[in-house]
Amino acid sequence: MTTSVQAADDSSAAGFVEGSSLNLNARNYYMHRNRLQQADDNIEWGQGFLGVFESGYTEGTLGFGIDAHAMLGLKLDGGGGTDNSSILPVSDGNGKAPGSFSTAGGTLKMRAFDTELKAGDLFLANPVIAGGETRMLPQTFRGVSLTNHSIDGVMIEGGQASFTKPYNQSGHTRIGTSYGSLPDGEDSRHLNWAGMTWSGLPGLTSSLYAAELKDIWNQYYFNLDYTYALNDLISLNPGLHVYHTQDTGDALLGDIDNNTYSLHFTVGVGNHSVTAAYQRVNGNTPFDYISQGDSIFLDNSQQYSDFNGPNERSWKLKYAYDFVGLGLPGLTSAVSYSRGKLDLTQVDPDSPGYAAWYSADGKNAKHWERDVDLKYVVQSGKAKDLALRLQWATNRGGNGYGVLDQDTDEYRVIIDYPLDLL
């Protein structure tokens, strides 16, 4: 197995041209959100294309390179009041998303020894700033990042991002949050982050991160994950995720003092696995994270709901099976059931960012979600690596939960066809 460090070293040794790669992913995406309390569903279908070029590095102690990408999204269906499912741009007011949207970006990079510096349009994936990749096209950030691998088993990184390109838009915006409502005309100017991951012992990984979303919050993250093989058949996997979020600077979303954690325990037996998880939000605001991003490394973040409401306690049971055990390699499945209870009466009704979460009837607000996930990846032939994924989520709420969301069924059909062109 080639590690990221080895790959970087190889590309540097190979040279600017020899170490280059060009990849294209064609993603066909259908999403249907059936909101049971409203007349119109949200239904959209699109075809996305993502091309990514990564150069090697020029020779010498100090090497230079260039990365570039281009994205194109085409609307296949979505309009007449059925738009706004989130895979296509928001309607221009006539109930129809535009027929296409596109964007392109580039990154300058520099490498010296075990340190890499990038400036430009970045694909980021860490617990405090991760670009969303669960829609037709990915989210990117504009800024600078620094990564170091000098110590075996340790990766250290940091950076600053000032803008983001949302996954269903062409242009860049300031970085917002998923659950908070910023006052009109106000925004955060940038997000700073730093962190490290450690994998120094077999089966054990840990990470520690900190981020500042200027004038909104300081956020800290810690995790510990351990996989222990009892024998060739049975494995055990306990894990912990912890976030602390505190308002900072001008506190544009108001007072935030939130401690959120999740615990999981997975037992693997051959091609079967069963996971039990518990998640707790301690605070009168929801656990919040970057708008459209995937920077919510919590066990009960599901297809539709994150189970991250104010003072929410939730649990989950999940069963997964790999059909290689039945002679069908590439076919995997998972089913899960999650249930949460919130206290929405403790939310500040005058909060500038989270007042919408207040409910006088929400002392014992409840909701549950059922998820089914089926995926098949072609293993050989001309269509090798083509992947088909089917997802179905059902979310229901009560006891005042309706102030936050409606009862919803959501269906997704996703087809990915990745190609290595260079």
How confident is the model at residue 205, as a pLDDT?
A: 97
Q: Are 174 and 166 in contact (CB under 8 A)?
A: no
pTM of the model: 0.93
Classify domain 175-417 at the CATH class level: mainly beta
Nearest one of 340, 236, 349, 331 to 287, comparing CA atoms: 340
Tokens 């003072």 correspond to what residue?
311
CATH topology of domain 1-173: Porin (2.40.160)
Over residues 241-250, the mean pLDDT reads 97
Q: Are 334 and 320 in contact (CB under 8 A)?
A: yes
Has residue 7 got a pLDDT over 50? no
Domain ranges for the chain: 1-173, 175-417
How confident is the model at residue 329, as a pLDDT?
A: 97
Query: How far apart (Å, rounded) are the C-alpha atoms in residues 142 and 116?
Result: 17
Query: How far apart (Å, rounded) are the C-alpha atoms in residues 335 and 331?
Result: 14
Over residues 38-44, the mean pLDDT reads 77
171 C-beta neighbours (distance < 10 Å), count: 10
Has residue 3 got a pLDDT over 50? no
- Give me the long-range contacts of 143-146 (CB less than 8 A, separation at least 24): 143/119, 143/190, 144/117, 144/118, 144/119, 145/117, 145/118, 146/115, 146/116, 146/117, 146/118
pLDDT one-digit tens code per residue, 186-216: 899 999 999 999 998 999 999 999 999 999 9
Has residue 14 got a pLDDT over 80? no
Query: How far apart (Å, rounded) are the C-alpha atoms in residues 360 and 353?
Result: 18
How confident is the model at residue 94, as a pLDDT?
A: 64
Name 157's bridge partners: 147, 195
pLDDT one-digit tens code per residue, 133-165: 999 999 999 999 999 999 999 999 999 999 999
How confident is the model at residue 107, as a pLDDT?
A: 98
Q: Are 260 and 342 in contact (CB under 8 A)?
A: no
How confident is the model at residue 12, as a pLDDT?
A: 47
Q: Are 174 and 189 in contact (CB under 8 A)?
A: yes
Three-state SS at 137: coil
Evaluate whether 1-173 and 175-417 have a shared fold: yes
326 C-beta neighbours (distance < 10 Å), count: 10
Percent of the chain exceeding pLDDT 70 equals: 93
